[in-house]
Amino acid sequence: MHAMIVSPYYWPESVGPATWLHQLSMDLVEKSHRVTVLTAFPHYPAGRIFPQYSGRMFMRERVDGIDIIRTYIYATPSKSFWPRVLSFSSVCLSLPVGAMLGSRPDVIYSIIQPLPLGWIIELLGKLRDIPVVINVQDIHPQAAVSAGYLKNRRAIRGFEKMERSIYKKAAAIVVITEAFRTDLIAKGVAPGKINVIPNWADVDAIQPAAKANDFRRSLGVDGHLLVMYSGGMGHNTCLDTVIEAASLLENEPCRFVLIGEGVYKPSLLQKAARYSLSNVSFRPFVPAADYPQALAASDVQLVALSSASTHTSLPSKTLKIMASGRPVLALARGDSDLSQLVKNAQCGVTVDPTDAQGLANAIRGLARSREQLDAMGQNAREFCLNYFERRRCTSQVEALLARSASRSLRFAPSANAT
């Protein structure tokens, strides 16, 4: 089988899709499949093309047995509306052109972020008679509407029409939770077309480890409960609540470390400065190689999901936290997939995303019971091993791609089959 994987993000970027699509590609190659990745030049999180890739419109390279076709993107550090629109538009237009540089695959596997990319890739699949499998990481355009990015009613209706068209034309659809599956069925998608395959954690690369490591020592938090957040600081988070909770805990033995970048980071910095907080520090994203150590250094890990994003997203960082054997402190509504996951795994505590006092009380309770923290961390690791182990999940994707490719494989006898 020859699979083409399409995503604006890919190795060497460290954002979620870049990581797990690289892992999927490697696992497919290991099983003797041919993989071509169609992606933009790496630019996340700084919004600037990585130096080794700058000054190019298109290029090809081969990494870990994977053919990679990289195409132009208007990369910008700006978080304003129009620069972001230009960036998304550039990648939606350049990736289909890049697809013509490679040989015809048996199946295309594409994430639909941004939504127009999925629509254009579906059109490409139709023109070249290639089945397209769509991966839904967030419910669009609902996620953009909930986050406040998309407000124009006419534009919303247009994107909703585009969403329905993508689902209708897809050979198969992958969603990451049962709630996503329910949402798509309510929109008229045939249940048999929808496959629930969760994201995964590399439980070999991320394992429980001692807290007393170099990263923790660099923070100077010995003797304190270390509450850490690592990820984007965007519209779907609720990190204002964390700053408010920190102000209530300023004279208690706990410290907050917020790692990452995003449109809300400047306002969070200003709010922490306004409170003159000495128990909160901010850091940029850590290199991917250091991320397991950062996870291990914490006592508890925060996952923050705003009320508006309750039913449109499940942060993939949650699974990495669970793999590290650290408890999850989830800022999320009780009816969210995130809250349900924490409850099912018995791996942490959930607090309403607007309840700063409740978050402060939860942290006080965790600080009083280190045995409870250890038990939650053990539960997290065990649940991750049972349900979110990398090979288990990538094998499900492989089987789905092979089934979807079977039609084109009949006309390509030289292709590798499962």
CB 75 within 8 Å of CB 106: no
Instruction: List C-alpha distances in Å: 398 to 9, 122, 402.
Output: 20, 20, 6
Instruction: Pull the structure tokens for residue 125.
Output: 């699949």
141 band by pLDDT with thresholds 50, 70 and 90: confident
Helices and strands (DSSP H and E) totals, the chain: 15, 14
pLDDT score at 262? 87
Answer yes or no: is pLDDT of 415 > 60: no
Answer yes or no: is pLDDT of 138 > 90: no
Longest Cα–Cα distance of the chain, Å, equals 70
Give the pLDDT confidence of 240-270 residue by residue, as tens digits: 999 999 999 999 999 999 999 888 999 999 9
Q: Which residues contact 159 (CB under 8 A, 6 or more apart)?
A: 115, 140, 141, 144, 150
Stated as kind and residue range, the H or E segment containing 254 is strand 254-259
pLDDT score at 235? 80
Mean model confidence pLDDT for the chain: 91
151 band by pLDDT with thresholds 50, 70 and 90: confident
Average pLDDT in the 366-394 region? 95
CB 317 within 8 Å of CB 234: no
Which is nearest to 16 in space by CA: 229, 295, 316? Answer: 316
Alpha-helical (H) ranges within 187-290 are 214-219, 240-248, 265-274
Give the chain's domains with CATH numbers. Answer: 2-200+389-409 (3.40.50.2000), 214-387 (3.40.50.2000)
pLDDT score at 310? 83
Q: How far apart are CA 20 and CA 26, in angstroms?
A: 10
pTM of the model: 0.87
Give the pLDDT confidence of 11-23 residue by residue, as tens digits: 999 888 899 999 9
350 band by pLDDT with thresholds 50, 70 and 90: very high
pLDDT score at 64? 96
Q: SS3 for 413?
A: coil
Which is nearest to 311 in space by CA: 175, 418, 404? Answer: 175
Q: SS3 for 389?
A: strand
pLDDT score at 408? 56
Q: How far apart are CA 326 and CA 146, in angstroms?
A: 30
Answer yes or no: is pLDDT of 192 > 60: yes
Q: SS3 for 145?
A: helix
Which is nearest to 381 in space by CA: 315, 297, 316, 321? Answer: 321
Give the pLDDT confidence of 297-348 residue by residue, as tens digits: 999 999 999 988 887 888 989 999 999 999 999 999 999 999 999 999 999 9
Least confident of 27-41, 61-75, 140-154, 360-374: 140-154
